[in-house]
Each structure stands twice: as structure tokens, then as C-alpha cells.
Structure 1
Amino acid sequence: MPKQNMQNGLNKANQAAQAQNTATEFASETNVAEVRRQNQQSAQKSGQQAGQATE
């Protein structure tokens, strides 16, 4: 019986670790998308400012 309990505990720990990894991967992908969006906005603003300066 104790061996079975230990196996159940390991399975639950493994499932929790997999869930954490999935959440971390999702957060990373979300952060990449957000950083790209901010970079594009920054580039647009820089382009607009450069255009205004040369007019």
C-alpha cells in the first residue's frame, strides 16, 4: 500500500510540473507577442517623429 501511495504522489507531482510548464510556455508566448507589438508601436512613433522633423 505505501508503494502505491508513493506512486500516486509522484504522478500528482508530475502532473503539477507539466501544468506549470504549460502555463510558463503560454506566458512566454504572450510576452513575445506583447514585446513585438510594443516594438512596432515604438517604430511607428519614431518614424512619425522623423517625418515631422524633416518637413
Structure 2
Amino acid sequence: MAKKVVATLKKEGGKSFAKVIRAVKSPKTGAYTFKEEMVPMDAVQSTLGK
């Protein structure tokens, strides 16, 4: 199934996406975890601003 998704994202007429990886600190333990999201290129700045 992953091949089908990758092929769809690489179409010429489709939107271009970016993978955003953020480090999130756990309030309980203080350890950092990483959260990954696939967002459209025009929404990257608004996603990072959260």
C-alpha cells in the first residue's frame, strides 16, 4: 500500500507535500518525543507556528 501512496504524491498535477518533524517535550517525564506530519507546502509555516 505504501507504494501506491508514494506514487500518488509524486504526480505532476498533485500538491507537493513536506514532512514536518517536531520535538515535543513530555510534561510528565521531561523526555522528548518526535511527532511527524505530512502537510502541504503552503501550510508548513502555519504548522510550525503551533
TM-score (norm 1): 0.23
Greater RCO (CA < 8 Å, at least 6 residues apart): 2
Bigger proportion of residues as helix:
1
- Looking at secondary structure, tell me which structure has more strand per residue: 2
